[in-house]
Structures are given as C-alpha cells and as structure tokens.
Structure 1
Amino acid sequence: MSSVLRVEGGKPLHGTISVRGAKNFVPKAMVASLLGETPTVLRNVPQIRDVDVVNELLTAHGVKVSYDQGAGILELDPSSVELAARSDIDALSGSSRIPILFCGPLLHRLGEAFIPELGGCNLGGRPIDYHLETLRRFGASVDKRPEGVYITAPRGLHGTVIELPYPSVGATEQTLLTAVQAEGITTLEGAAVEPEIMDLINVLQKMGAVISVDIDRTIRIEGVEKLKGVVHTALPDRIEAASWGAAALATHGDLFVQGAEQPDMTTFLNTFRKVGGEFEVKDDGIRFYHPGGKLKPIVLETNVHPGFMTDWQQPLVVALTQAEGLSLVHETVYENRFGFVNALRKMGANIQLYKECVGGVPCRFGQRNFLHSAVIQGPTPLHAADITVPDLRGGFSHLIAALAAEGVSHVAGIDMISRGYEHFLSKLRRLNASVEYVGQD
C-alpha cells in the first residue's frame, strides 16, 4: 500500500523553499563513520528515508545514533560496533542499496559482514557483482547464499590496483571505503569524481586517510592503521535544487531555492538558460524562474561529472515538452532511465524513444538494444491523468508534470519520493501548490 496524492495543476509555483545535504553523499558519509574510533558528527543532514534506513542499519550494528532532525545534526558513535543480528538485517532487506557499502568498513572493524538482497530504484543494471569482485581484489572471501552474501577477510585486506571500465559512483565509493585502511597502496583508475565523491574523500581525509586525486580520474589511497571521527557539514543536494528549478520552468513559476550553490550546478544552469529559463545566484541560494516567452528546444546528452547529470534529465524533460520544436535527449549513464515518459505521454506529451544514439555521439548502450534516446516534439499542452511513480527521480518528474497539467491528477506511489526529497509535500504547499493526500492505492 502506498499513498495517493491529489494534484490540482495549471498553477505557477512561486515562493521560497530550502535544500539540505545531498542524498547521494550523506548516507555514504554515515557508513564512513564506522571506520572511526571516535564519534562523527554530520551537519546539514536531510530528513529523508535513505538516512533513516542507514540509521537503522548502523543501530543494528551497535552504533549509537543521535539525530536532531530539526537542526539536521547527526552524531554517530561507532565505539561498540558489532555484527548485526540476521533478523535485524533481514528486516531492512530491499530498502536500499546502501548495505553493500558496509562491507569494507565492517571487514576492517569485525573481520566479517553479511549483506542481504538489495533494493533501490530499477534504472537498469546495477549489479552488486562488481562490488563483490572489488572486495575480492582486496583479499576478501565472498560466499553467496540464498539469503544473502557472507564476506570475510581471513588474511586482512591489502591494497590493489582497480581499473573501472566506466566511472561508476558506487564502485568508486566501495573502493574508497575499503582502501583507506587496507594495508599498502590502492590505485583506482577511471574513478568517478562527482562532487559527492569528492566530499566523501574530504570526510575520509579529515578522519586521517591519505587520498590523492589525479586529473586523469586516477585516485590513490595509502592505507592507514587508524581513523578518527570528525565534524563535517554536507554539501547541498544539487539534484533536488535542479528538480525545483525544472518545476519552476515547467509551471511558468518563480521560486528561490535556499541552500543551492552554483559551483556544482554549472552544467545544469547553462542548459537551463539555453532552454529559456532564467536564474539569479545569491549568497544563500539560487532563484529559478520562467521569464516569459517561448521555451527553446535543445540537444542534450547526459554524462558523468562534469557533464549533464543523469538525475537532472528527467525533471528537465517535463519542461522540454513545452519547448517550441524538436528536442533530442541521449541518456548515456542508465540504460532504462526513460521508463517515466509513459506517464508523460498519457498526459499529452509527444515523446518517442529509440534504441539508437541520437545527437551524433555514440555511447555504450548503442549496440545493446536499450531505449536510451528520446525525441520530444513540443509544445504539447499537458492534461491531468492518474499516474504511478516508477522510481525516485522519475516520480518527482511525474509530480512536476501533474503540477504543470491542467486539471486534477492523482499520483500513486508518491511515498517513494521521500527517499530523496525532504518534506516535499510541505515545500509544495509553501509554493502555493494545491496538493493533498486522498488515500492509498
């Protein structure tokens, strides 16, 4: 059972909301706290489901958790880490993909780890096999069983050389969390260098790790014997900030996102302006607004940082349905990212999906039979419909579409959005949106 949201659309969003720490960083920093011998304090922590899941997992492993939700301050004391009871881990099985990142820290602290079947958004291949192979490279022993994966390190963990075929964020995080206390030097080639990765490196360095990042995406980690707890303020969530910006554009609105920062959003802001949106960067946030006039079609390709982030693509596509002409969007990060467009079509959007790479730049999905390119013909007025949230980012895009559409829409599965968007319902109400829960599907 999940909640259904009634959305009365066709009204511009206007007002002020705020964003706190990044969903793609805070849970990983929480896992990193396991490595310290003293407590870690994280600031600017958002109230989202993913944070709750990691708090529950840490508590199950003996970490003392103190969370001031209003202030966004989380204190984690790992001095009594222990192996969690199977029943406690099983209760959280399927809630998140974060548990796989517990492996390295637990191997260092306890010499063993258990990982249940993992959940998360179904965006395409995110197999844990690469994570497990990475752990084997460090010297871990991996035992797959029906109930999950048992991992031990009978001879300890040792530095290694890892070459990533693609700059995977998850694989980079796994390597960092395992390498910082592995004996010797680890070299990671082809690493992801997203801002959230760099902030995780900041945390680990503050804890006592020795990590260098080269311009060719090579990260070198010198293992150390001990790490300590730290105090760290999380970088703001650039995905949530961009999502609200896209909502302002799609609804002809004007809103100020307090806490948003320009440096990590440069690529989004350039694209936002090319489409016809406008923004003002201020000391404490960014104002996003539709300045009037027609929106312009664009050719857009997602990519790893510093390219256009895949999580920015879905909310912006809603705005592109209102652009004058033909827009081309080529998704190169997740092969199944366009599942959300079915609902947009139901609401009147003219979007065609293709297996070929559009825009002239071939990618790794081009010969693999995936619908990973979109052609959007606009403008097409959106009308209300009853739709169901497919995943976190697609779900927020559905919400934007319902807010932009004329009439009353019912959005089912809306609870999934709480995984990554803090207090999104109260924020919508502060922006004068007409939304209310009407029951469960």
Structure 2
Amino acid sequence: MDRIAIIGGAQLNGTIPVSGAKNSAIKLMAASLLTDEPLRLTNMPRLADTRFLGKLLTRLGVQVTESDGPDGQQTLLHAPEITSGFAPYDLVRQMRASFNVLGPLVARSGQAKVSLPGGCTIGARPVDLHLQAIEALGAKIDLHEGYVYAQAPRGLKGAEITFPFVSVGATEHAMLAAVLADGVSVIHNAACEPELVDLQECLNAMGAKVEGAGTPTVTITGVPRLHGATHAVIPDRIEMGTYAVAAAMAGGEVRLSNARPGLIDALLDKLKEAGAGVEETADGCIIRRDGQRLNAVDIETAPFPGFATDLQAQFMALMTTAKGESRIRETIFENRFMHAPELMRLGADISVSGGEARVRGVDQLEGAEVMATDLRASVSLVIAGLVARGETTVSRIYHLDRGFERLEEKLGACGAQVRRIKGDGEAEL
C-alpha cells in the first residue's frame, strides 16, 4: 500500500493549477445516463473516484473514453442504450456518490436495482432523502437485501419535493431524476453549493429546463429527451482551498491558477484574519506568508457559502502552529475530527469535545508516522508535514487519491520535499 513522505521546513513558491471539481465531475458523469447522445466533459480530474464511477457506468452501458483534448483533460461518455439497470454492491461501496445513478436509470429506462452504499467513516450520511425524492417523483421503491429496487414503468411525474434539511447529494439526485419527468418539479430547501449550479448548466446544455440552482428553490420543467453536449467542469474549490491553506502553513508565495476564489470566500477571510496575505488575480489568487507566525482564529463549518466542512481538517492543521487557541466547530458531519489524534502524533495540542475541537498552537511539530482516516483528513496530515521537523509518513493514502490529482507533483513543483513510497517500498519522486 502506497504512502507519502514529507520532509518539513521548505517554503512553497510557484504556481499550482487547480483541477476540475471532483464533487461536480462525478454527478456530471452520471448525467450521461440521461441521453443516448455523447456527453463531453472537459477540465476533468483524473482521480480514483472518477475511475470508480467510470467502471460502474461502463457496466450500465456507457462508453467511457478519456483523452487529452484542446481544452485539456476530457472524458467522453456515450450511452446509446442502457444495457443494465443493476449497480452491484462491490462497485457502489467504493464511492457513495455512485448511488446517484439510481435516479437517471429510472428516469430513462423506468427501472433500476442499485446497492445501498453502506457506511461512511465520517458519519451516517443516510440516503433516505434521496429515496424520498425519487418516490415523490412517482417511482415505486422497495428495499431488499441491501438493494434499492425502483420502478416507474410509465415514467416519472413532476412533483413538489421538500427536504427537511439541506442535502447536497439529495438535491443533485432529485435534479438528475426530474429533468425527464412529465411536468414541473420544485425542490424546496435545496442545497446552494456551486456544484449544483454546475450541474444545472450541464443539464441545460443537454436540453433540460432547470432554474434556481444555487438558491433554496430549484424548479425543473421536464422534457421528453436530452441530447449530447460539451461542458467544462467547474474548478475544484476544495482543492483550491487546500493549497491555499498549504501555502499559508509552509510560508512563501503560491499562485493558484484556473481557480475561482469567490467559491471559498469564507476560507480566504479566515486566512486574512490569521495574518496570511491573499490577493485575487484574473484566474485565481495568490497566497503569501512572509515567515511571521499566524494568529489563531475560530471557525464553524456550515453549508455554502459558509466555511466548507471539506476544508475543516486542513484548517485544523494550519491552526496547530498558530499563536494562541482556536475553536473549530463541526456542524455537518458528526465524526469529522478523526484526524485530530493523528495530528497529535505530530505534536499538536488538540482537545475534542462533541462537535468542537480546541487547538492550542505549538512552536514546532515533529515528524512521525501517521495514518489517514478519510479523504480530507489525509491531506491535513500532508499539510502538517510541510512544517514538521524531520520526516512525516502518511499511510492509507488511497483516501488521498480519491480527491487530489498529482498532489506530490503540484507541491513538489513549488519546493515541497514530498514523495510517494510505492507499496513495495520503492520511492516515486
């Protein structure tokens, strides 16, 4: 099993291009099930999660072709017919978002059998809201032996869908199903994340009639069919925020290109409050720290446009060497402090009580062997390793590979001493 080793102490100076958004790309890939014409996605990240979903889509009848085009990395997805409506557990369990093939399958072919995704290390993350939305659209839902059986032989019907609480995945799933439903669907208490806007733009490019994404009310007027389209995936705001935190942690000056700083205003405001320099540019932003120790600041995670839960672990790593005490409140996922004990192995002073962590900044972290527990936790350990004295080795980095493309290459190009150690012990520079 691969590991990543970091020798701390080097400043970061250079440019890091931000990849396409993982959380958007995988839902856009699922949209290919809705049409018998090709969907071309540009600015596509190459990640474990997109490969997992590609395998599942191929099983369902989608032809998936990756290539380098004039607009960079692209993926062509073409499903002339749905050859199978069965999504098995051994594929869905590898990535929870695979469950979102359920709605498109039912919308296009009238039936589907999709495995429940199983547990998740950062919380329960139930799919009951997903099922309620599909059921509201007229599908008959049965649960049996860990599988969802959904049927709508006469097609889906427009409906009013009201979520009791905000759910990004359920909102996306409802949108994917409703675009081919007969009539008008209205989603109330919808998530407002930028990825929803990206999905709306892609679906509309395919001939759908969706409006309101990015607000709490999304309206979908169903159409008989969708056609092919070309769509550029939005830049990854979590990757952008991660490298912004890494630059503030290590010091130096890093330009983030192909980025939209307006998507992470909540983070950038906190970086400024802590003492880092932030300058917006035409295609991203510049993060600077001149060697002065950062100040401790408090954060509380919240749905967009608040502080993203997917950046909480990274910010906790940043606060481990800040001056003073910071309080970090997690309001989205109940188990998202599992990185704290691993940061403490590096010498961090952290105490956790319920949904709040207190981080008292220390003068110096010390390198050690640590273990990733989830995707965002894994990169928080890499960020801490950038300043830890000696060498930090992060194991179980298959979590990291799910959401960060060429991390060692991007950090290394800016001066970080980071390398991948292959499972057989061979280091890859």
Q: Which residue in 2 is equivalent to 1:396?
A: 379
1:276 aligns with 2:259: no
Q: Which residue in 1 is equivalent to 2:76?
A: 75
Q: Which amino acid in the other structure matches residue 372 of structure 1?
A: G
1:194 and 1:336 mapped to 2: Cα distance? 22
Q: Which amino acid in the other structure matches residue 334 of structure 2?
A: E
Q: 1:90 to 1:309 in 2, by over 3 A?
A: closer
Cα deviation for residue 188 of structure 1 reads: 1.0
Q: Which residue in 1 is equivalent to 2:360?
A: 377
Between the two proteins, what is the percent identity of the paired residues?
36
Alpha carbons 2:52, 2:94 under 8 Å: kept: yes
Alpha carbons 1:95, 1:120 under 8 Å: kept: no
CA deviations 1:181-210 (Å, max 9, x no partner) are: 111221111100111111101111222222
Q: 1:147 to 1:69 in 2, by over 3 A?
A: farther
Alpha carbons 1:121, 1:391 under 8 Å: kept: no
Q: Which amino acid in the other structure matches residue 66 of structure 2?
A: Y
2:218 and 2:143 mapped to 1: Cα distance? 29
2:19 and 2:423 mapped to 1: Cα distance? 29
Q: Which amino acid in the other structure matches residue 129 of structure 2?
A: Y
Q: Which residue in 2 is equivalent to 1:188?
A: 187
Alpha carbons 2:196, 2:213 under 8 Å: kept: no
Cα deviation for residue 10 of structure 1 reads: 2.2
Alpha carbons 2:253, 2:289 under 8 Å: kept: yes
CA deviations 1:38-95 (Å, max 9, x no partner) are: 2111110011111111211111111122211573111111212221567xx4542411
2:113 and 2:409 mapped to 1: Cα distance? 38
1:346 aligns with 2:345: yes
2:370 equivalent among 383, 387, 406: 387
Q: Which residue in 1 is equivalent to 2:239?
A: 240
Q: 1:216 to 1:397 in 2, by over 3 A?
A: closer
Alpha carbons 1:348, 1:380 under 8 Å: kept: no
Alpha carbons 1:34, 1:106 under 8 Å: kept: yes
Alpha carbons 2:63, 2:77 under 8 Å: kept: yes
1:215 and 1:409 mapped to 2: Cα distance? 40
Alpha carbons 2:299, 2:329 under 8 Å: kept: yes
Gaps of 5+ in 1: 355-370
What is the DSSP-based 3-state SS (H/G/I as helix, E as strand, rest coil) of the residue aligned with 2:226?
coil
CA deviations 1:274-314 (Å, max 9, x no partner) are: 11111222223322121332311212111111111111221
Cα deviation for residue 421 of structure 1 reads: 0.5
Alpha carbons 1:100, 1:131 under 8 Å: kept: no
2:262 and 2:190 mapped to 1: Cα distance? 21
1:291 and 1:312 mapped to 2: Cα distance? 23
CA deviations 1:208-228 (Å, max 9, x no partner) are: 222221886111111111111
Cα deviation for residue 237 of structure 1 reads: 0.5
Q: Which amino acid in the other structure matches residue 82 of structure 1?
A: T
2:394 equivalent among 390, 397, 411: 411
Alpha carbons 1:251, 1:404 under 8 Å: kept: yes
Cα deviation for residue 180 of structure 1 reads: 1.0
Q: Which residue in 2 is equivalent to 1:357?
A: none
Q: 1:119 to 1:255 in 2, by over 3 A?
A: farther
Q: Which residue in 1 is equivalent to 2:427?
A: none
Q: 1:92 to 1:344 in 2, by over 3 A?
A: same
> What is the count of residue pairs matched by the alignment?
422
Q: 1:113 to 1:195 in 2, by over 3 A?
A: same
Alpha carbons 1:139, 1:155 under 8 Å: kept: no
Alpha carbons 1:13, 1:431 under 8 Å: kept: yes
2:42 and 2:419 mapped to 1: Cα distance? 31
What is the DSSP-based 3-state SS (H/G/I as helix, E as strand, rest coil) of the residue aligned with 2:66?
strand
Cα deviation for residue 105 of structure 1 reads: 1.0
Cα deviation for residue 121 of structure 1 reads: 5.0
Cα deviation for residue 269 of structure 1 reads: 1.4
Q: Which amino acid in the other structure matches residue 370 of structure 2?
A: I
1:137 and 1:214 mapped to 2: Cα distance? 19
2:144 and 2:252 mapped to 1: Cα distance? 52
Cα deviation for residue 162 of structure 1 reads: 1.6
Q: Which residue in 1 is equivalent to 2:208?
A: 209
CA deviations 1:316-369 (Å, max 9, x no partner) are: 111111221121111111121111111111111111112xxxxxxxxxxxxxxx
Q: Which amino acid in the other structure matches residue 376 of structure 2?
A: R
1:330-345 mapped onto 2 (5 Å cutoff): 330-345=329-344
RMSD: 1.9
1:9 aligns with 2:8: yes
1:298 and 1:286 mapped to 2: Cα distance? 21
What is the DSSP-based 3-state SS (H/G/I as helix, E as strand, rest coil) of the residue aligned with 1:245?
helix
2:330 and 2:264 mapped to 1: Cα distance? 18
Q: Which residue in 2 is equivalent to 1:125?
A: 124
1:50-89 mapped onto 2 (5 Å cutoff): 50-69=49-68, 71-83=72-84, 89=88
Q: Which residue in 2 is equivalent to 1:361?
A: none
Q: Which amino acid in the other structure matches residue 78 of structure 2?
A: D
2:52 and 2:12 mapped to 1: Cα distance? 31
Q: Which residue in 2 is equivalent to 1:49?
A: 48
What is the DSSP-based 3-state SS (H/G/I as helix, E as strand, rest coil) of the residue aligned with 1:14?
strand
Q: 1:185 to 1:84 in 2, by over 3 A?
A: closer
1:340 and 1:229 mapped to 2: Cα distance? 42
1:109-148 mapped onto 2 (5 Å cutoff): 109-118=108-117, 122-148=121-147
Q: Which residue in 2 is equivalent to 1:197?
A: 196
Q: 1:119 to 1:144 in 2, by over 3 A?
A: closer
